[in-house]
Amino acid sequence: MTQNRRQVLKAAGAAAALGVGAWRPAFAQAKADVVIGAAHPMTGFMSFAGVASNNAMGDYINWRNQNGGILGHKIRYVGEDSAYKVDQGVAVVKKMIASDKPSFIFLDGTPLSKAVARDVLATGSVMTGGFSSSEALLDQKVYPHHFLSGPTFGATHEILMEYIGRVSKGSGTTPKIALVYTDQEFGNEAIPHSKARAQKLGLPIVQEIVTKPTGVDVTSEVAKLRRSRPDIVIFQGYIMNPVPEFVRQMREAGINAQVMSTTYGLDRIMYDALAKNGERLTGVMPYRYGYDTESKMMVTMREYVAKVRPQQESISVFYIHAWLTGMIFCEVAERCIKANKKLTMPNMKAALESMKEWDTGGLTGLLADLSTHQIKSGRVYSYDPALKRMEPASGWIRV
Amino acid sequence: MRTGVFFENYHGEEQLWDSRTAKVWMAIFVGAVATLPWWGSDYMVAMACIVGIHLIATMGLNITTGSAGLISLSQAAFMGVGCYAVSWFARWGLPFWLALPLAGTLAAAIGMLVGLPSLRVKGMYFAIATLAAHFVLSFLFREWTPVTGGPRGVTVPPANFFGIELAGDRRMFYPIFACALLLGLAAANIGRSYVGRAFVAVRDRDISAEILGVNLLRYKVLAFMLGAFYAGIAGGLLGYFYGAITSEYFTFSLSVFYVAAIIVGGLGRVLGSVLGAVFMTFVPESLRLLSSALSGSVPALASLLLPMGQVVFGALIIAFLIFEPHGLAQVWARVRRTFHLWPFRT
């Protein structure tokens, strides 16, 4: 090899190394002051929720950055896919903690929240929120770093029972209630609270049916309902199927019970599917719906989505939930920065617990009280066939 | 250059590694893995722990299905037994080094019950029996609240090994690595013992094996118990690693994951279990990392790659089955042979 060729090769090698080095910064974002990470279930059977929540968190953070960030500090968002699998979620969170050093992490559900709790606590500087509404995560001894962006499963049922109690008092009749729920945490965690509140209010629970989340033999379950003849059937833990088929077979069997659900079971996909069969869904939502005009923040959300994602037809409850969680993260950070405190877990926890009358821009109706690491309020909505959407059937109820 | 090996006696032929070179490379590999907590990042160590747990369960299933030919669709359920068992033993104050083998033993005992139908049914019919066992155990995990915590699951306190608290991935890596190494050696030794040969005989021609004096019930149940024991150990380590577990982890999909791992890796071989577990864990993760890396420069491709990741993963498995039905272990053997015989062609 001649000297010239050797020199050329050396220069080429140096240029390639520099090129590689120069290539990496192009993909690394500028260092931001506050890092928010997220493990969304963007693939897998929960992808309908994960894609919405990833969009929501990204949108909120972009909007916030465009409006001054957090007291001038920019926010950097790192969203990854957990596929709703604990192994993948744990790997994602650990990688995020090691490389991005987030101060806040959004988690895809209760199993992941529990699995990463030790690692999150070990950092001493991460606060978590997420999709889970499990009251197990409110245990301050084990999960002091975690909060719920709404009421627990049990609290939503308590609100629902309160509403049923009030309506039945007004009408002078005592409705018979049947509970149909899934055998997962989304379904069965609420039931003991439901039954306790019903007993306190004197509302009889005449039937309990437990099913798998999907692939349900509806006919045999409806046969059980025929025997008990409920006036109200509350579905818990279903996003859509098999509820429409369940209700259709209920009507064929002569069961004219009112259909109710809560939170994730009150999304557009459910009420539209039931409305096709002429059904009116009623239930408890902790947030306003995406088409609400009374809430300033909802209007802002809608306008932003129309600008960045005009093809998105509606705003789902998953989107609102994640947007609100982003708001809570930023509010906690803002309170710490204002107080000149570092974003350590004790400081963030104290900041969260100081949010006793926090204005969510109307998303939650009432001023939010996060001192107990949850927002224990909601409102009953009912389907309006004329407007083809859910409309308020009660005021905001705090339990 | 080694072109082959020449054994002068059966003892030589039964060795785990057929040459000094292979032993040296294996020692280097084990040494590198053993020192991973010193030089690896948090993410690498965490992934190594997860792979190690999956590896142990895969090796167990390879004994049951790969060696003995008994298709088992309940490996995830046995892991659950191990996980809930360590949680209970920890509550009773049993130390980690006792709770873990006891958890495996409990899983093996349940495996014995599940394996009993193997004398009457075989093949896909037996697989359905194991599927039934999976659903029975899953039901118990969800509904037996006083024992399993129901849907809320259980917490497992950090493992304590003679006063050393194994908190954090870098410490927890060592028991997982030690268990994987020991159980891997055990599986290899079982394979070259009378028991392993009996398993293979049962798998290939159970009637002929019986005529030759192999007690079918004993060896079929033993294969099942060994597979369940490994799964119980893996489940116990999983509980210590995550610290909290719910019944949603031990799904039928996880059992199918392990079946896919042994098929992709290679049936009946410890190396197949290793390669299969690594492949099944790392390929989806690599696709996710690739999607994440591309999200900045080619967001359209990245957004397509993310949901297509599962399709790509499935296609890779099918491609392996078509082009190398004996699995990655056979691919590895061919690569080794190529290097040994180079520049001659195989």
A118 and B243: CB-CB below 8 Å? yes
Lowest mean pLDDT of A78-82, B293-297, B342-346, name the range: B342-346
Residues A38 and A132 in one domain: yes
DSSP H helical segments within chain A, as ranges?
3-27, 47-66, 86-99, 110-115, 117-123, 153-171, 185-188, 191-201, 218-228, 243-252, 268-275, 296-308, 317-338, 345-353
Lowest mean pLDDT of A344-353, B2-11, B267-276, B330-339, name the range: B2-11
Q: What is the pLDDT of residue B277?
A: 94
Residue B112 makes CB contacts below 8 A (sequence gap 6+) with B221, B224, B225, B228
pLDDT tens-digit readout, B130-149: 999 999 999 999 889 888 98
Q: Residue A354 pLDDT more than 90?
A: yes
Q: Classify residue A317 as exposed, middle or buried by CB count within 10 Å of its CB (0-12, 13-18, 19+).
A: buried
A184 and B151: CB-CB below 8 Å? yes
Lowest mean pLDDT of A172-176, A282-286, B12-16, name the range: B12-16
User: Whose CA is closest to B136, among B63, B81, B60, B56?
Assistant: B81
Question: How far is B240 from chain A, CA to nearest CA, in Å?
Answer: 10
A183 and B281: CB-CB below 8 Å? no
Handedness of CA B240, B241, B243, B247 (dihedral sign): negative
pLDDT tens-digit readout, A91-101: 999 999 988 99
What CA–CA distance (Å, rounded) separates B91 from A171? 52
**Structural domain span for residue B157:** 35-251
CB A150, CB A179: distance < 8 Å: no
What CA–CA distance (Å, rounded) separates A85 from A397? 35
Q: Which of B143, B249, B309 sits opposite A86 (nearest CB)?
A: B249
B306 and A43: CB-CB below 8 Å? yes
How many whole angstroms from its chain centre is CA A135? 14
Lowest mean pLDDT of B197-206, B299-308, B324-333, name the range: B299-308
Q: What is the pLDDT of residue A97?
A: 93
pLDDT tens-digit readout, A194-220: 999 999 999 999 999 988 877 677 888
**Structural domain span for residue A60:** 34-151+293-368
User: Whose CA is closest to A40, among A48, A30, A28, A31?
Assistant: A48
Please calculate the CA angle A289-A295-A297 and round it to the nearest 5 degrees. 95
Q: Residue A89 pLDDT more than 90?
A: yes
A110 and B309: CB-CB below 8 Å? no
pLDDT band at residue A12 using 50, 70 and 90 as cut-offs: very low
B281 and A87: CB-CB below 8 Å? yes
Tell me whether residue B318 is in a domain.
Answer: no
Tell me whether residue A12 is in a domain.
Answer: no
Q: What is the pLDDT of residue A16?
A: 44
B243 and A117: CB-CB below 8 Å? yes
Residues A108 and A133 in one domain: yes
Residues A203 and A240 in one domain: yes
Q: Which two tokens stand for residue A212?
A: 């798998």
Question: How far is A114 from chain B, CA to nearest CA, in Å?
Answer: 6
Tell me whether residue A22 is in a domain.
Answer: no
Mean pLDDT, rounded, of chain B? 88
Residues A274 and A298 in one domain: no
Bigger pLDDT: B32 or A26? B32
What CA–CA distance (Å, rounded) separates A94 from A119? 8
* pLDDT above 90 coverage of chain A, percent: 74
Q: Residue A2 pLDDT more than 60?
A: no
User: Which range has highest mean pLDDT (A170-174, A292-296, B13-17)?
Assistant: A292-296
pLDDT tens-digit readout, A260-281: 999 988 999 999 999 998 999 9
Q: What is the pLDDT of residue B1?
A: 58
Residues A298 and A362 in one domain: yes
Tell me whether residue A8 is in a domain.
Answer: no
Q: What is the pLDDT of residue A331?
A: 97
Helix (H, G, I), strand (E, B) or coil at A134: coil
What CA–CA distance (Å, rounded) separates B78 from B138? 10
- Split into its structural domains, chain A has a count of 2
Tell me whether residue A28 is in a domain.
Answer: no
Q: What is the pLDDT of residue A20?
A: 38
How many whole angstroms from its chain centre is CA B66? 12
Contacts of B50 in chain A (CB under 8 A): 87, 90-91
For B157, which residue in chain A has the nearest alpha carbon? A118
Q: What is the pLDDT of residue A3?
A: 45
Contacts of B168 in chain A (CB under 8 A): 119, 122
Q: How many residues does chain B have?
A: 346
B306 and A42: CB-CB below 8 Å? yes
B245 and A115: CB-CB below 8 Å? yes
B142 and A88: CB-CB below 8 Å? no
Residues A62 and A161 in one domain: no
User: Whose CA is closest to A287, among A378, A195, A205?
Assistant: A378
Q: Residue A395 pLDDT more than 50?
A: yes
A94 and B155: CB-CB below 8 Å? no
Residues A46 and A98 in one domain: yes
- One-letter amino acid at B313 equals F
Residues A132 and A167 in one domain: no
- Name the pairing type of β-strands A104-107 and A127-130: parallel
ipTM for this prediction: 0.80
Contacts of A115 in chain B (CB under 8 A): 242-245
User: Whose CA is closest to A352, among A331, A366, A338?
Assistant: A331
Question: How far is A249 from chain B, CA to nearest CA, in Å?
Answer: 27
Average pLDDT, integer, range A142-148: 95
Tell me whether residue B316 is in a domain.
Answer: no
Q: Residue B220 pLDDT more than 50?
A: yes
Question: How far is B18 from chain A, CA to nearest CA, in Å?
Answer: 36
* pLDDT above 70 coverage of chain B, percent: 95
pLDDT band at residue B345 using 50, 70 and 90 as cut-offs: low
Q: Residue A29 pLDDT more than 60?
A: no
pLDDT tens-digit readout, A152-196: 999 999 999 999 999 998 888 899 999 999 988 788 889 999 999
Q: What is the pLDDT of residue A25?
A: 36
The 10 Å Cβ neighbour count of residue A11 is 10
pLDDT band at residue B3 using 50, 70 and 90 as cut-offs: low
Residue A325 makes CB contacts below 8 A (sequence gap 6+) with A57, A106, A129, A130, A149
pLDDT band at residue B33 using 50, 70 and 90 as cut-offs: very high
pLDDT band at residue A59 using 50, 70 and 90 as cut-offs: very high
Which candidate in B288, B292, B308 is best for mutational testing of the A interface (most A CBs within 10 A)? Answer: B288
Which CATH number is A281's domain given? 3.40.50.2300
Residues A389 and A254 in one domain: yes
Tell me whether residue A192 is in a domain.
Answer: yes
Q: Which of B43, B246, B249 sits opposite A95 (nearest CB)?
A: B43
A134 and B152: CB-CB below 8 Å? yes
What CA–CA distance (Å, rounded) separates A274 from A279? 5
Residues A255 and A317 in one domain: no
DSSP H helical segments within B92-168, as ranges?
96-115, 124-143, 145-148
A114 and B151: CB-CB below 8 Å? no
Mean pLDDT, rounded, of chain A? 89
Tell me whether residue A4 is in a domain.
Answer: no
Q: Which of B143, B150, B246 sits opposite A111 (nearest CB)?
A: B246
Tell me whether residue A27 is in a domain.
Answer: no
Q: Which of B42, B155, B243 sits opposite A94 (nearest CB)?
A: B42
Tell me whether residue A328 is in a domain.
Answer: yes
Tell me whether residue B310 is in a domain.
Answer: no
B307 and A42: CB-CB below 8 Å? yes
Contacts of B46 in chain A (CB under 8 A): 90-91, 94-95
Residues of A with CB under 8 A from a CB of B: 26-27, 29, 42-44, 47, 80-81, 83, 86-88, 90-92, 94-95, 97-99, 110-111, 114-115, 117-119, 122, 134, 136, 142, 183-185, 188-189
Task: Count chain A–chain B contacts defined by CB atoms under 8 A.
Answer: 91
Bigger pLDDT: A46 or A126? A126
Q: Residue A11 pLDDT more than 50?
A: no
Lowest mean pLDDT of A118-127, A194-203, B16-25, name the range: B16-25
- Split into its structural domains, chain B has a count of 1
Q: Which of B50, B158, B249 sits opposite A91 (nearest CB)?
A: B50
Strand order from edge to edge, sheet including A127-130: A75-81, A34-40, A104-107, A127-130
